[in-house]
């Protein structure tokens, strides 16, 4: 088991093959290339085959936690590889370490309990069938909705995002440069990115996303996502969040999608209530463990 600051091309191929094998078995992770930056931990078996991989984001989240993800190749599970990776992460980061477990897998829970990790955060995935009864968006008086204009609206969106998510470990730290990187992705669709304006100032947004079909994810169908809904705190409480959400839902429905998902913190009861009234039900959870 070795740590690397950077992966050479051969190691990148190994990690890619492991991540593809994991996605074929579990439907996760969505990305099958090693993340840029941070540290990489590779665990090989006695034959030299990559049995497990962990990535440590050393830049940390907005609250100073270093955040890791670890994945064991499906045909190497139940052999202690996950435990060894968890111990190596804990040794590397004695304090303020968080580790994601996607899907709230029982094996991950057993390793966490055995190695002294506790459940610190639950990211809930909710899903809804598209609904012909979703109403026309009804923004508050004086507020208009329009779609995103690339090259013009980036700074306004990032500023609203920072105010709306100053409490969030990841989302609140979004920069213009990171946003522009997302714009370059093949899935980015400005026609599915809705902005709310009052007196010419952006006060909220709904960023939608479409995931390609994969046989092990969400029933094997192409699926839409309520990717991010952000409302400036000064504009909250008048139904703007619901209006933005419905605008995106109707757009995804009109693209011919059958189901839509979203991610929400499990302790965000007001948001869960709004989404439940729009037809969303709890689907699965991702757990972040703390050491």
The answer to whether 34 and 48 are in contact (CB under 8 A) is no
* 195 known member of a binding site: no
Please list, in sequence order, all residues whose beta carbon lies within 8 angstroms of the beta carbon of residue 9, skipping any fewer than 6 positions away: none
* 251 known member of a binding site: no
* 225 known member of a binding site: yes
* 230 known member of a binding site: yes
CA atoms within 13 A on the CB side of 64: 2
d(CA 149, CA 252): 19
What secondary structure letter does DSSP report for 140?
A: P
The answer to whether 56 and 70 are in contact (CB under 8 A) is no
* 96 known member of a binding site: no
* 255 known member of a binding site: no
3-state secondary structure of 167: coil
* 236 known member of a binding site: yes
* 240 known member of a binding site: yes
What is the three-state SS of 95-108?
CCEEEEEECCCHHH
* 71 known member of a binding site: yes
The tokens describing 267, both together, are: 């302790």
CB-based burial label for 53 (10 Å; 0-12, 13-18, 19+): buried
* 15 known member of a binding site: no
Instruction: Tell me the binding residues.
Output: 70-72, 170, 209, 225, 229-231, 236-242, 263
Instruction: Tell me the binding residues for acetyl-CoA.
Output: 70-72, 229-231, 236-242
């Amino acid at each position: 088991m070795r740590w690397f600051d950077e992966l050479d091309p051969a190691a990148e191929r190994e990690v890619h093959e492991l991540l593809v094998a994991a996605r074929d078995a579990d439907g996760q992770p969505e990305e099958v290339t090693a993340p840029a930056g941070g540290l990489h931990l590779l665990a090989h078996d006695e034959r030299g085959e990559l049995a497990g991989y962990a990535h440590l984001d050393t830049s940390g989240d907005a609250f100073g936690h270093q955040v890791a993800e670890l994945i064991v190749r499906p045909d190497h599970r139940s052999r202690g590889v996950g435990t060894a990776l968890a111990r190596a992460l804990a040794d590397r980061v004695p304090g303020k370490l968080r580790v994601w477990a996607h899907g709230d897998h029982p094996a991950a829970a057993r390793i966490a309990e055995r190695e002294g990790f506790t459940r610190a955060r639950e990211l809930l995935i909710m899903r809804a069938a598209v609904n012909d009864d979703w109403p026309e968006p009804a923004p508050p008086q004086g507020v208009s909705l329009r779609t995103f204009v690339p090259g013009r609206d980036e700074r306004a969106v990032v500023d609203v995002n920072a105010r709306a998510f100053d409490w969030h470990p990841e989302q609140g730290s979004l920069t213009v440069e990171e946003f522009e990187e997302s714009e370059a992705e093949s899935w980015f669709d400005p026609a599915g990115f809705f902005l709310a304006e009052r007196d010419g100032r952006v006060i909220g947004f709904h960023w939608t996303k479409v995931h390609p079909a994969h046989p092990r994810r969400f029933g094997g169908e192409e699926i839409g996502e309520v990717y991010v809904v952000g409302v400036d705190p000064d504009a909250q409480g008048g139904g703007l969040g619901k209006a933005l959400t419905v605008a995106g839902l109707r757009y995804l429905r009109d693209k011919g999608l059958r189901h839509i998902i979203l991610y929400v913190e499990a302790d965000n009861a007001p948001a869960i209530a709004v989404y439940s009234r729009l037809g969303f039900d709890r689907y699965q959870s991702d757990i972040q463990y703390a050491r």
